[in-house]
Structure 1
């Protein structure tokens, strides 16, 4: 009897806990240089990308909520930037690479895109295994410019929000 009660409590608590679905898109590029990862608390709400004369990706930075992450790489010149709308998420990362990451395209669930760099080299296309997942962070290596880039995707079921509105 005690076993049945403990099992029922464990099953109920597992069902009530937020579920996390995670997938990883392996890094592309040569992978030389220093390892990096861009992470933060919450959802990605904006992106900045620095390129050098349109031919290499020199730096990337994400904003999580209202806080900008440290930038990876160099921040020379004016970045290409995209602020995400409420409920908007990055669902695809694509571009071109050779020794360095030549170009990158971040695509959102609303069909908007941020494009930076020169479209030359070998193509890559990264997306999550779950259709509800979104980009949570990136990792790779940097040596002057980005030499590799990998994408990390997740789905986190948020708690149900209640509304206490009353109609007059």
Structure 2
């Protein structure tokens, strides 16, 4: 009886202890001026595409992300200057870099994939920023920031591990 009580107590204690889980979530703090309406991309699964619109030879007007097979709303606004990158199976966004001019807008955006491909739009003028996950297994999950309807005024990135089966592992 005493043995079963001790054994039960040990099992309950071990079950109640928090299990160690590596921290795969990280946040790249927002850069740019905080004016306009806030946004945060919303979607399920892995990001599989990116579109960026720029004001001709100037700032980033807007962007759009594709989660699995569904495009998000456009954050910011559009123009005739559209660039697009569709990701391959298992490919992920692992870095965002660019330039911003604090009183105005994001002037350049570059999305880099796990296969070394990139999408670049805008003009390389202003202060530089470079976003990437703390953990090397994480990938871009959410882009947040502010837009005033004319352009993207600020931008930040949220990184996480997207759990997939082996056929869709990060490559």
TM-score (structure 1 length as normaliser): 0.86
Structure 1, gaps ≥5 residues long: 162-168
Matched, 1:110 2:95: no
Out of 132, 139, 144, the position equivalent to 1:139 is 144
Matches within 5 A, 1:78-157: 78-98=81-101, 99-143=104-148, 144-157=150-163
Structure 2, gaps ≥5 residues long: 1-6
Give the number of the structure whose residues are more often strand, by fraction: 1
Identify the residue that residue 71 of structure 1 maps to in structure 2.
74
Identify the residue that residue 3 of structure 2 maps to in structure 1.
none
May I ask how many residue pairs the two structures share in their alignment? 158
Query: How far does residue 8 in structure 1 lie from its aligned partner after superposition?
Result: 4.3
Instruction: Specify the SS of the correspondent of 2:65.
Output: strand
TM-score (structure 2 length as normaliser): 0.84
Which of structure 1's runs of 4+ aligned residues deviate more than 6 A? none
Q: Counterparts of 1:30 and 1:79 in 2: how far apart (Å)? A: 24
Out of 7, 11, 24, the position equivalent to 1:5 is 11
Q: Counterparts of 2:166 and 2:87 in 1: how far apart (Å)? A: 23
- Deviation track 1:61-91 (CA, whole Å, cap 9, x = no partner) reads 0000000111111122252000000111111
Contact 1:20 1:156 (8 Å CA) reproduced: no
Contact 2:97 2:111 (8 Å CA) reproduced: yes
- Of structures 1 and 2, the larger Rg is shown by 2
**Which piece of structure 1 moves more, 65-74 or 151-160?**
151-160
